[in-house]
Amino acid sequence: MAKGSHFLVGLVLLHCLVAMAEAEHLRYKDPKQPLNTRIKDLVDRMTLEEKIGQMVQIDRSVASADVMKKYYIGSILSGGGSVPKPEATAKDWVDMINEFQKGALSTRLGIPMIYGIDAVHGNNNVYKATIFPHNVGLGATRDPQLVKKIGDATALEARATGIPYVFAPCIAVCRDPRWGRCYESYSEDHKIVQSMTELIPGLQGDLPANWSKGVPYVGGSKKVAACAKHFVGDGGTTKGINENNTVATRHELLSIHMPAYYNSIIKGVSTIMVSYSSWNGEKMHANRDLITGFLKNTLRFRGFVISDWEGIDRITSPPHANYTYSIEAGVNAGIDMIMIPFNYTEFIDGLTLLVKSNAIPMSRIDDAVKRILRVKFVMGLFENPLADYSLTDQLGSQEHRELAREAVRKSLVLLKNGENADKPLLPLPKKAPKILVAGSHADNLGYQCGGWTIQWQGLSGNNITSGTTILSAIKNTVDKETKVVYEENPSLDYVKSNDFSYAVVVVGETPYAETNGDSLNLTISGNGTETINNVCGRVKCVVVLVTGRPVAIQPYLNKIDGLVAAWLPGSEGTGVADVLFGDYGFTGKLARTWFKTVDQLPMNVGDSHYDPLFPFGFGLSS
């Protein structure tokens, strides 16, 4: 018996030791372990192939569970308009993402992938999501707490679709409105941009007390990892040409374009995206001094640095001309995750050879992988890798639409109101016999939302997603006895021959994104100026500008009785009617200088040649 009991005790002891060894063996899977212990434990177990896989981000169109498993892919994204199917539901998104995630989890180490999307004004790729005003409008609100709430709502709508990572906020300081991304910038003034980094704690959650500076933070399953972009100087390129060269001293770069990155890092931003642009002729994607030297070493950023879409390809001109060189330059500069998004095997093969030939040191690969894993651990992805359907009702919720409507109200800037303060046109009377609503942007939800909405370049029309056009909002706001006549492009004779009490003319820019929006003349699209000429001067009129930036308006200003900058208000056009008809007052102030002529550009507040049509900070109240 004694021998038998000794044997049993030994067996139990052996089991305990095996169990302890097993627990020790999988320290990275134990959420009770310190963050750095988990990271080190996992990195120590990884092969070169597994490490390189973590550094790869591919588009969903080339992803599958098998691809995730075979290549150990660390991340997937939806490029603009890359969706599971047209008009996909929240459930469709969750199903697709979980299918990819199961492929990642089936690998030897079971490292979950992270799914990213451009949710730059709400979860804007997704059908029926709430579309908030673009950043140019939010800058005019001067309301960081409102922007924080928008971050919170955007996080919920992203998680509703199973997405835990968003490429926002854009903290560019747009110094020239000719830039096609100017609407993604909150202001020409870095102080306003800095204040609007409150979007980050909205997206990610407020940092706990004593959180280590520079360490990324994501506060649970209702929050998402954020991405400050585009590092650095993207808003300062010559003539506002997208992806071009920013000519600036180091002092100018650090004092204008860098400050919002300090705030973002202090607020625990998880990731930072590198800019396509150059600084004094050197491509940012290859700038080791700024990415590794300044961002990582000086600012002590501990999250991961991600490239832009095919960003390393564009290190060379023409793009992809010497891909091996581009991989070496980009990775050695300090980029941790590479947005490829299609030719991932070419990248994997190229990076593997560069590491094996010691052109890229193993320490650089380990730094990249540790940073990526740090974000994944902090987010709780290892504990909760699969999305569920518990938040699907948050997509386009009434509460979020009310918040977007409030943001529209606060973003509107009143630039002119009657001949003088004694004879204001606004607020407009709700009760009138007959009013005219005119212009290409009055009844076009796609135009109202602008670029980065459902498709990368935006769309035209009212069936692109759910929302309320400005025309619908006016009809719903005026007295039921008031006759509202809509004529998109009324002729002069038409206006003369009708007895309108007043007119609302809604014109602006048609949607664009990035380089497609670069413009040297900044004119109103289509028949917009003709509509202003035909309507204004014949009848009392307020012109509502739906644009991503200031546009040339001076030649028409004398004809216009009231002028409102509505920017790109998004899906909730009712916010415009709320203020036009006086249910709320105008409170928005210009966060951008409004030029007289494009010949003055670039012109920003504080410049010696400052002679604006409407100065920075201008905004009448009604």
pLDDT tens by residue, 421-463: 889 999 999 999 999 999 999 999 999 999 999 999 999 999 9
**Torsion (CA) 596, 599, 603, 608 in degrees, nearest 10:** -100
Exposure of 375 in the CB half-sphere (CA atoms within 13 A) = 35
Instruction: Identify the band that residue 419 occupies on the pLDDT scale cut at 50, 70 and 90.
Output: confident
Res 3 pLDDT > 70: no
Tokens read off for 46: 């990884």
pLDDT tens by residue, 515-554: 999 999 999 999 999 999 999 989 999 999 999 999 999 9
pLDDT tens by residue, 335-374: 999 999 999 999 999 999 999 999 999 999 999 999 999 9
Predicted pLDDT of residue 421: 80
In this predicted model, which residue has the larger pLDDT, 603 or 3?
Answer: 603
508 CA to centre of own chain: 22
Residues ≥6 apart with Cβ < 8 Å to 260: 171, 173, 190, 193, 194, 196, 197, 228
Mean predicted confidence (pLDDT) in 376-385: 98
Let me know: does 348 contact 52? Beta carbons within 8 Å: yes
**Distance between CA atoms of residues 425 and 559, nearest Å:** 13
Q: How far is CA 576 from CA 313, 422, 443, 544, in A?
A: 42, 24, 13, 9
| All domains in the chain, ordered by first residue | 51-379 (3.20.20.300), 412-614 (3.40.50.1700)
Q: Identify the CA nearest to 546 among candidates 471, 495, 456, 454.
A: 471
If you count DSSP H runs as helices and E runs as strands, how many of each does the chain have, helices first?
Answer: 21, 17
Mean predicted confidence (pLDDT) in 107-126: 98
b (16+ CB within 10 A) / e for 338-361: bbbbeebeebbebbbebbeeeebe
Over the Cα atoms of the chain, what is R_g? 27
DSSP string, 508-522: E-----GGGG--SS-
Q: How far is CA 515 from CA 38, 176, 338, 512, 526, in A?
A: 42, 14, 21, 8, 19
Residues ≥6 apart with Cβ < 8 Å to 588: 137, 140, 141, 142, 410, 411, 412, 413, 414, 565, 619
Let me know: does 123 contact 154? Beta carbons within 8 Å: yes
DSSP code, position 297: I
| N-term to C-term CA, the chain | 97
Predicted pLDDT of residue 25: 75
DSSP string, 234-269: GGG-GGG-TT-EE---HHHIIIIISHHHHHHHHTT-
DSSP string, 391-422: TGGGTT-HHHHHHHHHHHHHH-EEEEESSSTT
Q: What angle do CA 238, 181, 146 make, to 5 degrees?
A: 130
pLDDT tens by residue, 173-184: 999 999 999 999
Res 51 pLDDT > 90: yes
Return phi, psi of residue 42, to 5°: -70, -45
Q: Which of 152, 176, 189, 514 is catalytic?
A: 514
User: What pairs with residue 75 in β-bridges?
Assistant: 57, 114
Tokens read off for 579: 């203020």
Chain-wide mean pLDDT for the chain? 96
Res 293 pLDDT > 60: yes
Three-class SS state of 305: strand
Res 27 pLDDT > 70: yes
Mean predicted confidence (pLDDT) in 224-233: 98
- 443 catalytic residue (yes or no): no
Tokens read off for 226: 């954020």
Q: Identify the CA nearest to 485 among candidates 543, 406, 432.
A: 432
> What's the order of all strands across the beta sheet hosting 245-246?
245-246, 278-279, 282-283
Instruction: Identify the band that residue 622 occupies on the pLDDT scale cut at 50, 70 and 90.
Output: confident
Instruction: Identify the weakest region by mean pLDDT among 19-23, 149-153, 288-292.
Output: 19-23
Four-residue CA torsion sign, 239, 243, 245, 249: positive
Q: How far is CA 450 from CA 189, 207, 322, 513, 567, in A?
A: 23, 33, 36, 8, 9
Q: How many residues does the structure list for the chain? A: 622
Three-class SS state of 464: coil
Instruction: Identify the weakest region by mean pLDDT among 24-28, 255-259, 463-467.
Output: 24-28
**Distance between CA atoms of residues 242 and 77, nearest Å:** 22
Predicted pLDDT of residue 21: 55
Q: Which of 308, 328, 336, 518 is catalytic?
A: 308
- 346 catalytic residue (yes or no): no
Residues ≥6 apart with Cβ < 8 Å to 267: 197, 198, 200, 201, 204, 207
Predicted pLDDT of residue 14: 55
Tokens read off for 383: 């504990």
Mean predicted confidence (pLDDT) in 197-212: 98
Which 3-state string (H, E, C) describes 537-574? CCECEEEEEECCCCCCCHHHCCCCCEEEECCCCCCECH
Pairing of strands 562-565, 541-546: parallel
Q: What angle do CA 414, 411, 271 make, to 5 degrees?
A: 150
